[in-house]
Structures are given as C-alpha cells and as structure tokens.
C-alpha cells in the first residue's frame, strides 16, 4: 500500500516535470517568434531608409515647364535638382537695354560663365525672349531678388536698367544674369541645360543632345 503511493507520487512528479518542460519550450518558442517579428518590424523601415523616395528620384529628373501663361515682363520659378530655376519672359525694352553698359559688367560676353555651349550672345538664351537661369548668386549661394523694373521704381536709383539684387551681400545682375563690376559675386548667374519641346513647352535639365 505504501509502495503504491510512492509510485503514484513519483509518477505525478514525473508528469508535472514533463508538463513544465513542455510549457517552457512553448514559452521560449513564442518569445523567439515575437522577437523575430519585432526585429522584422524594425528592419523594414531601416532598410527602407536606404531606398530613394520618389521625390528624391524626381529631384534630378528633367522638369517640363508650360510657358503659355507667362506674360511679357513676368518671371516664374520652378525647382530642378533642388534649385530654383528662373524663367523670365523679357519684353523688347528689356532686350534693348542688354546692349548698353557693357563696360560696367565683369563678363559681358559670358566667356567665364557656367552655361551650355549653345547659349550664346548677350541675351544668354536659345530664344532671346525667354531667359532661363539658376536663381542662386555665384557668391555664397543666396537667391537674388527681382528688380526687374527700370529706374527708381525698383528702389535701385534712376540709372538702373532692370535686373536682380542679391539681398545677402549686394551683388547686382542685369536682365541676362550678368554681374556688375565691384560686386562680391565673381561670375554671371549659371544657366542650366535646357531645350524647347515647342514654342510654349520648355524642358529644364536636358538639352536636344540629351546632355
């Protein structure tokens, strides 16, 4: 009778130990599974951070611009490669003043300027009516302000013919982005590669040769 109780007690102890071991294995497996899922959850956004966003991909892509609503004398700004690109539709009067005061400019023929080879002449344009340039001062990278109107109306004095003024250090540029002498900016405003898809469609960032 006594022996029977001992066997049952031993058997019970054995049964409990097995159940405990099984429970531990189940708990460890579950914990490992949760950990794996959590690790996967962390890994996904971490890996995704190395994947370029659509905006990042588009930042370097050519930008197509509709010029149909741009009126003579108006300027529009578009973004290309994270930079402001200006498109100024010049009036006949604006084009006429580009022929004046070459002796006041650092580089009137833009020989040292950064611009495509096909952009030539004092207008610095494929189509003289439309002036396309990167709106960043060549001194320290500020964005010049519009001073398009001639004379005192722009707050630049009676002799002013129209152009741009850098608010940071005072560099002045004419209506073709050419810098005046004795200014902090060393060179004329940069002209990006561009081409015309039609009379009113401009493609910035790519020229007709695919550059």
- Mean pLDDT for each 10-residue chunk of the chain (211 residues)? 42 44 49 43 37 54 96 97 97 96 96 93 96 97 96 92 96 98 97 96 82 45
- The reply to whether 27 falls in a domain is yes
Q: Please indicate, yes or no, whether residues 61 and 5 belong to a single structural domain of this protein.
A: no
Cα–Cα distances (Å) from 46 to 36, 39, 41, 70, 74, in that order, read: 15, 11, 9, 44, 46
Q: Within a domain: residue 211?
A: no
Question: Given this model, what pLDDT does residue 86 score?
Answer: 98
Q: SS3 of 32, please?
A: helix
Q: Is 175 within a domain?
A: yes
Task: Tell me, yes or no, whether 7 and 36 share the same domain.
Answer: yes
Q: Is 169 a catalytic residue?
A: yes
Residues 128 and 172 in one domain: yes
Range of the domain at 10: 1-51
User: Do residue 88 and residue 108 come from a single domain?
Assistant: yes
> Distance between CA 192 and CA 119 in Å, rounded?
10
Residue 209 within any structural domain of the chain? no
Return the pLDDT at 179: 98
Same domain, 154 and 174: yes
Question: Per the domain annotation, does 181 fall within a domain?
Answer: yes
pLDDT of residue 58: 58
pLDDT at position 80 is 95
Domain count, the chain: 2
Asked if 156 and 88 sit in the same domain, the reply is: yes
Give me the pLDDT at residue 60, please. Answer: 76
Query: Within 13 Å and on the Cβ side, how many CA atoms surround 110?
Result: 24
- The active-site residue, picked from 4, 139, 169, 194, is 169
Predicted pLDDT at 46: 35
Say if residue 21 is in the same domain as residue 92.
Answer: no
Contact status, residue 145 vs residue 165, Cβ threshold 8 Å: yes
Q: Do 155 and 127 belong to one domain?
A: yes
Residues 193 and 101 in one domain: yes
Domain assignment of residue 72, yes or no? yes
- Do 98 and 117 sit in the same domain of this protein? yes
């Amino acid at each position: 009778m006594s022996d029977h109780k001992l066997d049952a007690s031993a058997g019970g102890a054995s049964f409990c130990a097995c159940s405990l071991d099984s429970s531990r294995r189940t708990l460890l497996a579950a914990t490992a599974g949760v950990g794996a899922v959590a690790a996967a959850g962390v890994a996904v956004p971490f890996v995704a951070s190395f994947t370029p966003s659509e905006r990042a991909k588009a930042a370097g892509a050519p930008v197509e611009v509709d010029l149909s609503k741009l009126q003579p004398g108006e300027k529009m700004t578009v973004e290309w490669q994270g930079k402001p690109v200006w498109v100024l539709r010049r009036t006949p009067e604006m084009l006429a003043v580009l022929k004046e005061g070459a002796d006041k400019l650092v580089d009137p023929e833009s020989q040292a300027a950064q611009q495509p080879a096909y952009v030539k002449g004092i207008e610095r344009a494929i189509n003289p009516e439309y002036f396309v340039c990167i709106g960043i001062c060549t001194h320290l990278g500020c964005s010049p302000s519009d001073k398009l109107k001639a004379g005192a109306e722009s707050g630049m004095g009676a002799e002013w013919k129209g152009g741009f003024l850098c608010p940071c250090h005072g560099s002045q540029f004419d209506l073709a982005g050419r810098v005046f002498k004795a200014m902090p900016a060393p060179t004329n405003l940069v002209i990006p590669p561009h081409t015309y898809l039609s009379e009113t469609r401009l493609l910035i960032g790519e020229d007709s040769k695919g550059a």
